[in-house]
Amino acid sequence: MGYVYIFGTIFFTVYGQLILKWKIDQYGGLPLLWKDKFIFLLQLLLNPFILSGFLSAFVASIFWMAAMTKFDISYAYPFMSLSFVLVFVLSVFLFGEPMTFKKVMGISLIVAGIIVMR
């Protein structure tokens, strides 16, 4: 059951990051004037998708607390690196972000690190 908690942490972390990127991209760049920045950020905070991203971070924290009851942190925490891998891969497919050789090598090193730590 402990791995389910780790997977839940990763899933909700990745969901939150992707949903925030998706909606923020739709709103565009941060305005220059402070008043406009405040209104812009308030609109983002009131967006139901953005709120779901924040809620997913909270749910991820609940899963992480459950995972901590099953594993040493030194064992469980490296699995959190899978969030980086999933966000990278999904951002390439969902947002058309570039997949460069350096990024692929970096992701490969993260995966190799998880394998070595396990």
Residue 48, CA distances (Å) to 20, 21, 29, 56, 114 in order: 11, 14, 19, 12, 35
118 confidence band (pLDDT: 50, 70, 90): confident
Q: Of 85, 87, 79, nearest to 56 (Cα)? A: 87
Q: For residues 55 and 15, what is the distance between their CA atoms, to the nearest angstrom?
A: 10
pLDDT at 93: 95
pLDDT at 107: 94
Q: What is the tally of structural domains in the chain? A: 1
Give tens-digit pLDDT for 64-106: 999 999 999 998 999 999 999 999 999 999 999 999 999 999 9
pLDDT at 117: 81
CB 41 within 8 A of CB 29: no
**Side chain identity at residue 52, one-letter code:** S
Q: For residues 39 and 65, what is the distance between their CA atoms, to the nearest angstrom?
A: 35
Residue 113 pLDDT greater than 80, yes or no: yes
Q: Which domain holds residue 113?
A: 2-117
Q: Which residue has the tokens 């406009």?
A: 36
Q: How would you label 82-116 residue by residue, b for 16+ Cβ within 10 Å and e otherwise?
A: bbbbbbbebbeeeeeeeeeeeeeeebeebeeeeee
Q: What is the CA radius of gyration of the chain?
A: 17
